[in-house]
């Protein structure tokens, strides 16, 4: 166990960027892929700031696109460490878009990235422990524990589930598919 502990607030980071026409998709909204790129950048910055080391993206656990972002809006991303393991951290990111003419702000995206700290040789390295000093910190940490448990359960299910059984094949009849096994 790492003897160093840091507060959640010590990991807080935010970035703001004006959305340009070059960031838009064919429907005139900001392209989701562009937002994903920014999310990965802020997750890296947050994890590296907290751990004091280079970090890599291990997984993108959740990306919920809630509202479209328009060209000309000011997008602000706020990130913090929500959970720490031995060398991993789960970074929570909130994305808001502000209409700079009206001042109206909307919540556009919530995302969770798992980042892993690495040493100069690319080997996993321990991260500081997390000091939970507010109720929201505790809530976020517990939610991450639940998400990790669900992820583990899904992995076990993938390994143990027999997809070729008659029961499995029969369960597919209620879906919009045409089964043509050879």
* Residue 88 covered by a domain: yes
How many domains is the chain partitioned into structurally?
1
State the CATH number of the domain containing residue 15. Answer: 3.10.129.10
What CA–CA distance (Å, rounded) separates 9 from 91? 12
- Is 31 a member of any domain? yes
Residue 33 belongs to some domain of the structure:
yes
Within a domain: 170: no
119 domain residue, yes or no = yes
Any domain includes 61: yes
Asked if residue 142 belongs to a domain, the reply is no
For residues 19-40, give the mean pLDDT.
96
Residue ranges making up the domain that contains 28: 5-132
Dist CA 134 CA 100 (whole Å): 32
> Is the pLDDT assigned to residue 88 strictly greater than 90?
yes
CA-closest candidate to residue 92, choices 105, 81, 103, 108: 81
d(CA 64, CA 111): 6
Mean pLDDT value across residues 119-127: 96
- Tokens 């919920």 correspond to 64
- Say yes or no to pLDDT of 158 above 70: no
**pLDDT grade, residue 8 (50/70/90)?**
very high
The 10s digit of each residue's pLDDT in 13-26 is 999 999 999 999 99
Give whole-number Cα distances, 121 to 49, 54, 70, 117, 161, in Å. Answer: 19, 10, 42, 11, 38
């Amino acid at each position: 166990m790492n003897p160093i502990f840091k507060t959640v607030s010590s990991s807080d980071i935010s970035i703001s960027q004006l959305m340009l026409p070059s960031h838009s998709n064919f429907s005139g909204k900001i392209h989701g892929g562009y937002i994903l790129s920014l999310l990965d950048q802020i997750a890296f910055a947050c994890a590296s700031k907290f751990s004091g080391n280079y970090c890599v993206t291990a997984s993108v656990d959740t990306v919920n696109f809630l509202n479209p972002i328009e060209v000309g809006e000011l997008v602000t991303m706020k990130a913090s460490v929500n959970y720490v393991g031995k060398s991993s951290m789960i970074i929570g990111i909130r994305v808001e878009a502000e209409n700079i003419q009206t001042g109206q702000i909307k919540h556009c995206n919530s995302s969770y990235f798992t980042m892993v700290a690495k040493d100069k040789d690319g080997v996993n390295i321990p991260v500081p422990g997390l000091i939970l000093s507010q109720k929201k910190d505790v809530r976020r940490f517990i939610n991450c524990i639940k998400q990790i448990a669900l992820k583990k359960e899904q992995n076990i299910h993938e390994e143990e589930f027999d997809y070729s059984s008659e029961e499995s094949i029969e369960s597919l009849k209620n879906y919009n598919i045409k089964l043509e096994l050879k």
